Amino acid sequence: MNITKESIDALNAVVKVDIVADDYKDKVTKVLNDYRKTANIPGFRKGNVPMGMVKKQYGKAVMIDEVNKLLQESLNKFLVEEKLDILGNPLPKAQDDFNWDAETFSFEFELGLAPEFDVNLKSKKKVKQYNIVATDELIEKEVENIQTRYGKMSSLEEATEHSNVTGTFVNEEKGINKKSTFLVNDLKGKKNEKKVIGAKAGDVIELDTKKLFEDDHKLQTVLGVSHDEAHDLDVKVTLTVEEITKTEPAELDQELFDKLFADGSVKTVTDLKGKIKEDAEKQFQQQADQQLLNAVTEHLVEETKFDLPKEFLQKWLQTAGEKQLTEEEAVAEYEKSEKGLRYQLIEGKIMKDNDIKIDYAELVDYAKGFIRSQMAQFGNMNPEEKELEDIAGRVLSNQDEARRLQEQLVAQKLLAFYKENLKFDAKEVSYEDFIKEVYNVEK
């Protein structure tokens, strides 16, 4: 057997594999002998089928199978030994004159090679970084929400500005039929409030969905529609009032504080607001970190210039998935995935150059931390170590789950690395301004 590589350019190459009869004939003979011993063919006792008959019926199929096995093994070994960093998979070149009746065979494969490049982490261009702070307004609103959640509820004869209305919203055309509870104060505009204030159980009220609530996202919850539908929904709905209640806010006293924080860490309203601020900003940090990772990704892709074997990758995409793509579909798929591929290469280069690794023990610890936080949400604050170990083992035995957790851990490590090594333009904002600036959405 002979394997050679011909470089077309820095990003493309062709590998040629020449296979002669001596490379495969012993394996073919062994397979045929094994088959002869076990074959059940009418007219012959087991093990006494003439070899000539076995060769005639099965020889060519066995030979093709063994040649293909040998071809795949030798090609993979060559790529490893030559340390060829390829993109996608080798693509066999079509040969019009190929003949399986010959004894010697030549196969050619196109390769797309990964580019060589350096990542400049010292670029003068800064990446926007947000520090989201919990405003006094947000904290006060959360205090009110807590008082409402733990308050005492009483029935009312008719709806008032500060009452809760429970009823069923219906619009047959849009398939809306949802029983919900909302606060009259959450309605937008005096016109809508006027329709509801004074209503009693059994009343039927017609409302316009457009600008029905101060917060458009409230429409999504109340009507049971999707996020996209909620923003553009402009239809009439009927509300059949079923119950009207009023919530007397809970007192901000030690009894309430202990319900919220059983460890006794909150003694005053100031302590409560401090906890709310701390918890809110911890959640905000996760969103800020995700935005930062997205911004860094865009920055590195923009700042790191290199060519890709574009034509090869488009050709490879045609056959890479379960469904074969047309040439036009493959081009469109490449354009969608090019930025992701570029960042994948950049990420790999950064991890290699800076010795950023993940071992299995780290992955297990990360999985255990994730499981611990999940269990805490259901009230199990102190799970035993063995229980965590067992659950982590089961989770990581699932390849998809293991890959997902590994990707999260890699992103976490890279984010920490980026924070230490890139230049940032830091900006302190409220959560509302963050959503407005980053996602261009009015909250």
Q: What is the pLDDT of residues 198-241, one digit of tens each?
A: 999 999 999 999 889 887 778 888 999 887 788 788 999 999 99
Q: Do 282 and 238 belong together in one domain?
A: no
Q: Do 96 and 162 belong together in one domain?
A: no
Token look-up 């996020």 returns 227
End-to-end Cα spacing for the chain? 68
| Boundary of a domain, candidates 113, 138, 165 | 113
Q: Do 238 and 378 belong together in one domain?
A: no
Burial class (CB in 10 A: 0-12, 13-18, 19+), 144: exposed
pLDDT value, residue 442? 61
**C-beta of residue 156 within 8 angstroms of C-beta of residue 317:** no
DSSP alpha helices (H): ranges in 119-196? 136-149, 190-196
| Boundary of a domain, candidates 84, 113, 142 | 113
Q: Do 427 and 292 belong together in one domain?
A: yes
Residue 326 has pLDDT above 80, yes or no: yes
Q: What is the pLDDT of residues 101-143, one digit of tens each?
A: 998 999 999 999 999 999 999 989 999 999 999 999 999 999 9
Quick check: is 379 in a domain?
Answer: yes
Beta strands at 12-19 and 2-9: parallel, antiparallel or unpaired: antiparallel
Residue 443 has pLDDT above 70, yes or no: no
pLDDT value, residue 431? 93
Quick check: is 312 in a domain?
Answer: no
Q: What is the pLDDT of residues 345-374, one digit of tens each?
A: 999 999 999 999 999 999 999 999 999 988
Quick check: is 378 in a domain?
Answer: yes
Q: What is the pLDDT of residues 255-300, one digit of tens each?
A: 999 999 988 999 999 999 999 999 999 999 999 999 999 999 999 9
Domain with residue 243: its CATH number is 3.10.50.30
Quick check: is 329 in a domain?
Answer: no
Nearest in space to 62 (alpha carbons), one of 49, 51, 76, 48: 51
Indicate the pTM of the whole model: 0.77
Q: How many domains does the structure of the chain reveal?
A: 3
How far apart CA 184 and CA 164 sit, in angstroms, is 6
Q: What is the pLDDT of residues 43-100, one digit of tens each?
A: 777 777 888 888 888 899 999 999 999 999 999 999 999 999 999 999 999 888 899 9
Structure tokens at 203: 């009343």
Q: What is the pLDDT of residues 162-201, one digit of tens each?
A: 899 999 999 999 999 999 999 998 898 888 899 999 999 9
Q: Do 87 and 169 belong together in one domain?
A: no
Q: Do 272 and 412 belong together in one domain?
A: yes
Nearest in space to 261 (alpha carbons), one of 141, 381, 140, 144: 381
Domain with residue 14: its CATH number is 3.30.70.1050
Q: Do 301 and 427 belong together in one domain?
A: yes
pLDDT value, residue 189? 83
Q: What is the mean pLDDT of residues 409-420?
A: 96
How far apart CA 199 and CA 192 sit, in angstroms, is 12
Q: Do 201 and 287 belong together in one domain?
A: no
pLDDT value, residue 35? 85
Q: Do 432 and 378 belong together in one domain?
A: yes
pLDDT value, residue 215? 79
Amino acid, res. 59: G
Quick check: is 22 in a domain?
Answer: yes
Instruction: Give every CB contact of residue 372 below 8 A, 6+ residues apart in sequence.
Output: 383, 388
SS3 letters across 398-409: CHHHHHHHHHHH
Quick check: is 19 in a domain?
Answer: yes
Q: Do 423 and 297 belong together in one domain?
A: yes
Nearest in space to 161 (alpha carbons), one of 183, 129, 144, 136: 183
Quick check: is 281 in a domain?
Answer: yes
| Boundary of a domain, candidates 248, 272, 295 | 248
**C-beta of residue 239 within 8 angstroms of C-beta of residue 168:** yes
Q: What domain range is 279 assigned to? A: 264-306+356-439
Quick check: is 41 in a domain?
Answer: yes
Q: How many CA atoms lie within 13 A of 277 on its CB side?
A: 13
- The chain-wide mean pLDDT, for the chain, equals 93
Q: Do 80 and 219 belong together in one domain?
A: no
Q: Do 157 and 56 belong together in one domain?
A: no
